[in-house]
Amino acid sequence: MSSIDKILQGNVDEKEADFNNRNTILAHYKIVDDSLNILFKGKVAMQACQDKVLLTEFFFSGLINDLTDPELLAVLSIFVTTEKAGGSVAECSKHYSENFTKAFDFVVAQANALI
């Protein structure tokens, strides 16, 4: 019976220990305080991780499958540059497909949700 309980619980003890270890590390680096409140340093770290979350959401959305290579490069360039193009959005959108517009809108919506 105890082995069945462990299987059904999904090794909760191991997950709790892992959770506590991660919290100890975060507290050591002063990302969270002793009450697990996020400190300023933690907020800065979260900003750096948002791109990874956005990319993961984008890849798993399935939208990547409908893009041409240039369109995919254009979407991915959002994550590697902060420079803005000289043209307007309306002007640029003439050169891309509806699939690109969907992918771009998805990334923008997910970014806004994270913010």
Query: How far is Cα 44 from Cα 22, in angstroms, rounded to an integer?
Result: 18
| Residues 69 and 94 reside in one and the same domain | yes
Position with higher pLDDT, 4 vs 38 = 38
Q: Residue 104: give the domain boundaries.
A: 43-115
Same-domain check for residues 57 and 24: no
d(CA 65, CA 94): 21
16-64 confidence digits (pLDDT tens): 888 888 888 888 888 889 898 989 888 877 776 777 778 888 888 888 8
Q: Looking at the structure, tell me whether residues 31 and 62 fall in a common domain.
A: no
Which residue has better confidence, 77 or 46? 77
- Express as a percent the part of the chain with pLDDT over 70: 75
C-alpha distances (whole Å) from 33 to each of 16, 23, 29, 48, 85 are: 19, 9, 10, 20, 41
pLDDT confidence band for 84 (50 / 70 / 90):
low
Most trustworthy range by pLDDT among 1-15, 58-72, 92-106: 58-72
Average pLDDT, the chain: 79
Q: Give yes or no for a contact between 79 and 55, defined as CB atoms under 8 angstroms apart.
A: yes
Query: Do 19 and 60 reside in the same domain of the chain?
Result: no
Overall number of domains in the chain: 2
Q: Do 30 and 72 belong together in one domain?
A: no
How far, in Å, are 3, 77, 84, 85, 87 from residue 94 at the CA level? 62, 18, 17, 14, 11
Burial class (CB in 10 A: 0-12, 13-18, 19+), 100: buried
Instruction: Check pLDDT > 80 for residue 115.
Output: no
